Amino acid sequence: MATPKKKSSRSRRNMRRFAAGNKLDKPTGATCSNCNEVSRPHRVCSSCGHYEGKAILPGKVAATV
């Protein structure tokens, strides 16, 4: 089995990883059904506090559509 003669630095290791196409993709966005703001999917909307049509965070002001 092949064994490296010297330790690869973190910089060289990371350059090899990113050159191979392992870069992160853009985060996906879903529109809120209550206020039509773009937010992360499967999470409470940060602008109105709704999730799946229900008010989860009562401190947020509910927007009307």
Closest CA to 14 of 22, 3, 26, 4: 22
Structure-model confidence comparison of residues 65 and 43, the more confident one: 43
In three-state secondary structure terms, 10 is helix
- Structure-derived torsion over alpha carbons of residues 46, 50, 55, 58, reported in degrees to the nearest 10: 10
Confidence at residue 22, expressed as pLDDT on a 0 to 100 scale: 65
Per residue in 5-23, pLDDT (tens digit) is 999 999 998 888 877 666 6
Locate tokens 């008010």: which residue? 55
* Residue 37 φ/ψ, nearest 5 degrees: -85, 150
Percentage, residues of the chain above pLDDT 70: 82
The pLDDT of 37-62, averaged and rounded, is 82
